[in-house]
Chains A and B, each alone.
Chain A
Amino acid sequence: DAGITQSPRHKVTETGTPVTLRCHQTENHRYMYWYRQDPGHGLRLIHYSYGVKDTDKGEVSDGYSVSRSKTEDFLLTLESATSSQTSVYFCAISEFLADSYEQYFGPGTRLTVT
């Protein structure tokens, strides 16, 4: 397995509270991603990073922010969690490979917002 860890692995929180999820890699890959996975929607990109301090929005970025202060860590923050953000969150990493970007996924974080 690629060296990707996510913390916490499970979290239950209340509506309106801030939540931060952490993704940590030991592969020194340049690109990092946050996805959410929900039944009927598949994997949807929230935010991604193409280098330290370089981030951009994905297709479902509303209500989320990210930060990447060093290569190995990519943080996802829900400023004020809502029930619609109950989901499984996956971090992924990639590096340029054969003119494309093969991604490797972390184990996931199951977040429940009550």
Chain B
Amino acid sequence: EDKVVQSPLSLVVHEGDTVTLNCSYEVTNFRSLLWYKQEKKAPTFLFMLTSSGIEKKSGRLSSILDKKELFSILNITATQTGDSAVYLCADGGSNYKLTFGKGTLLTVNP
């Protein structure tokens, strides 16, 4: 069965730190991997990755996919307290459905 595993489950950093969040997946018919940010409300879309080695960037956030090793990372540089959230990754390949990991809870302290 397909599985999406995120690590670490939680992380506490200080403002200004750089963090790397990990997502590994075991899928048989890979199409894409998606990242979402969830504060105390609905998940909001960050990135969709389909090609290996191509970095997606949005401000201080960036993400890259390794299809050979079956993982993706989400980097956040110069973290701010507003980055505190749960970050979710999801496999986007199976019959129009997403399979989510359990998420990484990031806490950024001032």
Chain A residues at the B interface, C-beta cutoff of 8 Å: 31, 33, 40-45, 48, 50, 58, 90, 94, 96-108
Contact = CB atoms under 8 A, between A and B. Distances in A.
Interface stretch (B12-20, B41-49, B53-61, B72-80): B41-49
Contact of A101 (B41, B92, B103): B92
A50 B95 CA distance: 9
Which 4 pairs of residues, A with B, have the shortest CB-CB distance?
A100-B32, A105-B42, A42-B102, A100-B92
Nearest to A95: B96
Contact of B98 (A41, A99, A103): A103
Binding site secondary structure of chain B: strand
B48 A98 contact: yes
A102 B42 contact: no
Given A94-B96, A102-B34, A42 B101 contact: yes
Contact of A90 (B34, B42, B50): B42
A112 to B, nearest CB: 17
B102 A41 contact: yes
Contacts of A96: 96
B68 interface: no
B98 A107 contact: no
Nearest to B34: A102
Nearest to A2: B45
Contacts of B100: 42-44
A101 B96 contact: yes
Contact of B31 (A31, A43, A100): A100
B88 interface: yes
B41 A108 contact: yes
A101 B98 contact: yes
Nearest to A59: B99
A73 B96 CA distance: 18
28 contacts: A33-B98, A40-B102, A41-B102, A42-B88, A42-B100, A42-B103, A43-B43, A43-B88, A44-B100, A45-B97, A45-B98, A48-B96, A48-B97, A94-B96, A96-B96, A97-B48, A99-B31, A100-B31, A100-B32, A100-B50, A100-B93, A102-B45, A102-B48, A105-B42, A105-B44, A106-B42, A107-B41, A108-B41
